Chains A and B, each alone.
Chain A
Amino acid sequence: MKRTLSIVGAFALLAWTALGLFAWSNAQGHFQVTVIESGAASAEAQRASALADELGALHQDLRALSTALGENLEALRDELSEEQTQHAAALSRDVSALRESLRALEPSAIATQQSLILLRQDVAALSAAVHAAPAAEPVAVVAEAIPIEPQPEAETVVETTLPQPGQPAAQPAAEVAPKKRSFLAFQLPSDDLRFDERRAWTLLPALSRVGFDAKSTLHDFSGVSSSITGELEADLSKPGEKPRALLRVEAATLKTGVDGRDEQMRENLAVKDHAQITFELTGFEATKVDAAARRSEGKASGKLTIRGVTREVQMPVQLSIDEARRLCVDGDMSLDLTQFDVPVPNKLGMITMEKDVKLWISLRLRVHPRTER
């Protein structure tokens, strides 16, 4: 028993010691022990006092600097303000002088503008004169028609506008034509359609008709068709110089207003075998040419083919340009149907048609756009 108690007492002592060590090890991280000597505190206090003195001196210096800077800025502002006032006054004087100069220049500017307008009108007149003049003598005609004022600009323009002898009159004028802004908002070239140059034209079927007027014992009648295609190429001021044209009419589309008569006509024209009536222009003998009015008259010669039979014919025609800048070709001629082997209708000897009919054309053509520059 005694031995047991001593063992328990030894264990208890060991446990107490272990607990003490454990508690010390936990507590030592939460405590700091500082050792201060008694002379160090007075040294720190002296250093802080010196710093405070230096800071006060710095404040005083800063105040002095601030005061001095403010005075300098005020002086600078005053100086700048004075300079600005002087500069504005100088500018005002310059503007006034400029205005006076402009006022002095205004009359001459107006005169120059008027001169330019007159010059432009002269150039336009020259261009029109060149257009209207025959191609063989373009320069001479222009010189007689429009006297050129001795202005250097005008001479320059005229030199570039007038064609050289031997050159076609059309090309240079078309290239330098001035532009203007039209009511369509686009700038349209000022050169109008010319009568005196070789151009290609395309027939407008919707606005063209060909027909014939016939006489019979019962009553007179006409046959009309708008089923026409064709082209024409000519210089309308010189229509006799190698004109070319080809017209094609669908024979079955000729209408007289009476179905039975139309049926008979198609049989007589043999439209199943010869669907088209054609005319090929081979020459033009002009009797009247008015280039200014854009009109000419003459006799068109060519090969007319009806029912497969071709004959040389001549038709007096009038050529003109209308408001829509279309070429109008109108004409008529007498034609003997028997020359083309066309049977002349005859109903039991009672109703007979005359073998001579009047063939007429009313054609409208639109100029084909140029492809060359």
Chain B
Amino acid sequence: MRDRSIASCACALLLAASVLGCASNVVAPADRNVRDELADAVWRPANAVDLIGQWRVLSLSGEAASALLDLAYFIAEDGDFSGSALFAGPPAHFEVLSGTWSLDATGRLQLGADAEPANAEVAGAFLRLSGAEGSLIFERPAIR
């Protein structure tokens, strides 16, 4: 009787192991796309301290994505900023500008006097600026 119960347990263990070992490891069609690591980021409204420093664009979306090839800002603590953008053209060309910036309590960033305000948010070391022309994610450049 005892031998039969041990044999039953062994068979059950073997069956479970074979089922686990034979489990499918196929990538589902919905998972074939490369997942953006920032898709799950939790964004919060930026404050002034978050903005200070140098930023380089990491991803572009919206109309800005078809107009720009690259974008960088330097946001200074004294209220000044400077930016450079590489436009797709044709012909491809750089533009630079400087001005003053301000940030209200709701995270609306005003870059220069004439521009529409941008919605500024941060998640970890990333900065996201959103507006009518799209959404851009920036990172701190690490020049070696």
Contact residues of A with B, CB < 8 Å?
174, 181-186, 188-193, 206-209, 211, 213, 218-222, 224, 226, 256-257, 323-326, 330, 332, 360, 362, 364, 367, 369-373
Contacts and interface: CB of A to CB of B under 8 A. Distances in A.
B90 to A, nearest CB: 4
A373 B89 CA distance: 8
A183 B66 contact: no
B131 A183 contact: yes
Cβ-closest 7 pairs across A and B: A183-B131, A193-B66, A370-B90, A183-B118, A325-B65, A185-B111, A324-B61
Nearest to A205: B34
Interface of B: 21-27, 29, 32-34, 36, 59-69, 71, 83, 85, 87-92, 95, 97, 99, 111-112, 114-118, 129-133, 136
A221 B111 CA distance: 51
Contacts of B60: 324-325
Main secondary structure of the interface of B (DSSP, over half): mixed
Nearest to B113: A185
19 contacts: A181-B116, A183-B131, A184-B115, A185-B97, A189-B87, A190-B63, A193-B65, A206-B34, A211-B27, A218-B22, A220-B26, A221-B26, A226-B34, A257-B25, A324-B65, A325-B60, A325-B61, A330-B33, A370-B90
Given A222-B27, A224-B27, A186 B95 contact: yes
A193 B116 CA distance: 22
Contact of A184 (B24, B92, B133): B133
A183 B133 contact: yes
A59 B17 CA distance: 135
A364 B63 contact: no
B120 to A, nearest CB: 10
Given A182-B133, A184-B85, A218-B21, 8 more contacts: A181-B116, A182-B64, A183-B118, A184-B133, A188-B133, A209-B34, A325-B66, A369-B89
Contact of B97 (A186, A189, A209, A224): A186
Contacts of B116: 181-183
Given A182-B131, A369-B88, A371-B90, A188 B67 contact: yes
Nearest to A361: B32
Contacts of A219: 21-25
Contacts of B63: 188, 190, 192
A210 B73 CA distance: 35
Nearest to A373: B90
A184 B132 CA distance: 10
Nearest to A324: B61
